[in-house]
Amino acid sequence: MLNMIYADIYKMLKSGSIKIVFAITVLTSLLMAVMGNAIANGRLSAEFGGIAFLFSDVNVISILGGVIAGIFICSDFENKTIHEAIACGCSRGKIVISKAVAFFCGIVVLLLPYGAATGIALSLGGNYNPGKDSLGFFYLLAKESGAILKGADLPKLILVMIALIMVLASQLSVCIPLALLLKKPVLVVGLYYGISIMSAQLLGLARNHEIFDKIYALTPFGGDYLFMTLKTGMGDVGKSLAVSLVFILLVLGITAGVFRKAEIK
């Protein structure tokens, strides 16, 4: 199975598609920081906050994550790579794990520019205000802007960034069963983007219903997992990591069980 994982990761990282998608996230992460700074300093109206959010990590990755799954999982059905692996005796469970590991590596690569842009922007000490629409790295950037970061803050900042990456990756884990079962990149991208929009609506609903909020917080889509800052307690950061990991394992377990019985044509 290790050879399969290495092969999938190598294929993804050497692909021209991942380089293009990575370039997009580099550009959008810079635009996120630049527009956030312009809004905070009055060079742009606060009305542009919605446009700035379009370049945020949460919005961009909800689209590009589906694209990555569509390109690197669905394409293996078209070129018969998965068919050959099954014919050679490789279990479907191992195929799911291999694709998942490669997929998560791709997601981490795509989110690195946002982490770098946020860290650099905060170290420069500027003000950033995206308006009312902010989640993930955009929220961290806005809430910590203007503060003087000390050396002691760096480990906590890195940990919060890792937790944010983990939360976003766990949300995107839903793309894996979609890609393996639907086998159509367009369907995966469209359906997951719809799920991300619906999850945001449910987050608003959870704020007004305590019981639903507690239930929804058991998934990476709920709780305050996309609203972490340096002031977030270590217990809450740890909870976000635990919930994300359990959710990923649950999704992969269900995916392996369903994919094992799925008909491969």
**Range 41-51 average pLDDT:** 75
Q: Which long-range contacts (CB under 8 A, 24 or more apart) does 106-109 make?
A: 106/12, 106/18, 106/68, 106/72, 107/61, 107/65, 107/68, 107/165, 107/168, 107/169, 107/172, 108/165, 108/169, 109/13, 109/18, 109/22
Residue 146 has what pLDDT?
A: 66
Residue 93 has what pLDDT?
A: 81
Q: Which residue has the higher pLDDT, 128 or 226?
A: 226
pLDDT tens by residue, 52-108: 788 888 889 988 988 888 888 887 777 777 777 777 767 778 888 888 998 999 899
Lowest mean pLDDT among 34-48, 157-171, 230-244: 34-48
Lowest mean pLDDT among 4-18, 22-36, 77-91, 223-237: 77-91
Q: What is the pTM of this model?
A: 0.90
Share of the chain above pLDDT 70, in %: 94
* Phi-psi category of residue 126: left, alpha or beta, with phi > 0 → left and psi -120 to 50 → alpha: beta
Residue 94 has what pLDDT?
A: 83
Distance CA 211, CA 232 (A): 23
Residue 241 reports pLDDT greater than 90: yes
Distance CA 174, CA 11 (A): 22
In DSSP notation, 80-106 reads THHHHHHHTT--HHHHHHHHHHHHHHH
**Range 179-188 average pLDDT:** 86
Q: Which residues of 57-67 are buried (b: 16+ CB within 10 A; e: fewer)?
A: bbbbbbebbbb
Q: Which residues of 26-39 are buried (b: 16+ CB within 10 A; e: fewer)?
A: bebbbbbbbbbbbb
pLDDT tens by residue, 109-159: 999 999 999 888 888 777 777 666 678 888 888 887 766 667 667 888 899
Summary mean pLDDT of the chain: 85
Residue 256 has what pLDDT?
A: 87
